Amino acid sequence: MNFELTEDHLILKEMVRNFTVQTIEPFADQIDQTGKLPNAFIKKFANIGLLGMTVPRRYGGSEATNLSCILAIEQVAYSGTGAWWLLAFNNSIPQCIANFGSETIKNKFLKTFCNGDGYASIQFTEEETGSNSNVLITRAIPDGNDYIIYGMKRFSTFGSRDGYAIVFAKDETDSCTAFLVQKNCSGYSVEKTWKLMGAGGIETSDICFHDLRVPAMNILGQKTKGLDILFDWIALEKIQQSIASVGIAQAALDEAVNYTKSRKSGGKSISNMQGIKWMLADMQCQLTAARWLTYRTAYLCDQNAAEWRLEAASTKLFVTKTALEIVDTARQIHGCYGYTRDFKIERLYRAIAGASGIGTSLEINRSIVGNWVITR
């Protein structure tokens, strides 16, 4: 096995790290306070080729690998803001459309996401469903050549931003079907935008559909097969969330190292203390394991390996817990200063807090992996 990144990978990492330092970090406090990304960000991401990375070039993408995509996400997540969600969604959702959509669908929608003209969203979760795919309330009723969608969706990332969303609804057969829906049009309304503990910039909203008319040709994939699309996308999202956790954990380790070098005790830097060195050593080992596990899972996804979706659940389970521990240890190293907003570690601590519950909870992934272990 080759554990070396290619020269192109290394160039990409350096380019995105510089972009994060120069373009995102100066706005980190603003994003944290307002909960919104600057409007200019999406075009800046597009201008350096970070949107639609895995989409074929004929549809406006770069035909990059998922490994390349997560290398970019890792660097953006280093900022401790939710800016990485924009990169993740405008890559994973276009990839989902490219995998399941007809030629008409691909030609109609993909370039919008790749060139930064619209924000991509997934809308599945509802007030009473959570992760239960069997009790969807939102309905899609046929009406001539269209469907009429009514109902609501909760926690829609970038649901209030212009663009398109994949909406999952029960059709006339009582099965789940996926529809591509234009946001902020007639019949589409934003009811609430949630204020989150950390990772400002996710912009997650409640969406209501009031007789929203959607052409039947906007069905993504096969009718009644929406859950196949959802589960494929969720598996990819787990890899993206895992690498974002790695990026946040790397930032926390770097903050801890810098703090220990500058903090004096008895006239000496506390980095010279054996106990501190041991804590930093454990964090480094944990981080290396989490990073390479995530890289491997992205590689398996690129190879379309038979068990890559199960490996994605295993990766999220391990990496999330590991990253939470790394960031918490970094906060402890900062002492009382880690509880102040004067230090970046406080923002990183809040940014990582949602990793165990957003997307799919650790408990769900533990069940997936446990079932896999006893039945394989």
- Regarding whether 170 and 232 lie in a shared domain, the answer is no
CA distance 179 to 97: 11
Last residue of a domain, one of 87, 117, 147: 117
Interatomic CA distance for residues 129 and 150, integer angstroms: 16
| Listed residues 191, 224, 257: the one ending a domain | 224
Q: Which positions of the chain have pLDDT values less than 70?
A: 1, 130-133
CB count, 10 Å around CB of 45? 24
Is residue 239 within 8 A of residue 200, CB to CB? The reply is no
Question: What are the tokens at 41?
Answer: 């960000």
Co-location of 257 and 276 in the same domain: yes
Residue in 67, 56, 158 with CA at minimum distance from that of residue 110 = 56
The pLDDT value given to residue 147: 98
Number of H helices, E strands in the chain: 11, 10
Let me know whether 130 and 218 are in one domain: yes
In the prediction, which pLDDT does 4 show? Answer: 87
Q: Dihedral through CA 45, CA 166, CA 156, CA 367, nearest 10?
A: -110
Query: Which run of H or of E encompasses 228?
Result: helix 226-262
The token duo for 206 is 């409640």
CATH number of residue 49's parent domain: 1.10.540.10
**Which of 66, 100, 117 represents a domain boundary (last residue)?**
117
pLDDT at 153: 96
Is there a single domain that holds both residue 128 and residue 46? no
Range of the structural domain that residue 272 is part of: 227-375
Residues 105 and 149 grouped into a single domain: no
Within a domain: 42: yes
Lookup result for tokens 């469903």: 129
Residue 164 lies in a domain: yes
Cα within 13 Å of Cα(88), Cβ side: 29
Quickly tell me which residue has 């993909």 as its tokens. Answer: 110
Task: Specify the number of domains making up the chain.
Answer: 3
For residues 59 and 140, membership in a common domain is answered with no
Beta-carbon contacts of residue 175 (< 8 Å; ≥ 6 apart)? 223, 224, 225, 226
Same domain (yes/no): 184, 240: no
Residue 112 lies in a domain: yes
Which residues neighbour 9 within 8 Å (Cβ) at sequence distance 6 or greater? 67, 68, 71
| Cβ atoms of 95 and 237 closer than 8 Å | no
Please report whether residue 95 resides in a domain: yes
What is the C-alpha separation between 203 and 155, in angstroms, rounded? 9
Residue 2 included in any domain: no
What interhelical angle do 66-77 and 274-302 show, nearest 10? 150
- Is 170 part of a structural domain of the chain? yes
Output the six-digit token pair for 348: 């990183």
Q: Is residue 324 part of a domain?
A: yes
Residue 328 within a domain: yes
Q: For the domain that residue 272 is a member of, what is the CATH number?
A: 1.20.140.10
Q: Please report, for the domain that includes residue 160, its CATH number.
A: 2.40.110.10
Same domain, yes or no: 132 and 148 = yes
The end-to-end CA distance of the chain, in Å, is 24
Residues 191 and 264 in one domain: no
Whether residues 325 and 217 fall in one domain: no
- Same domain for 235 and 369, yes or no, is yes
- Measure the CA–CA gap between 11 and 17, rounded to whole angstroms: 10
pLDDT at residue 131 in the model: 63
Same domain? 125 vs 217 = yes
Per-residue pLDDT, 1: 64
Q: Which amino acid is at 339?
A: Y
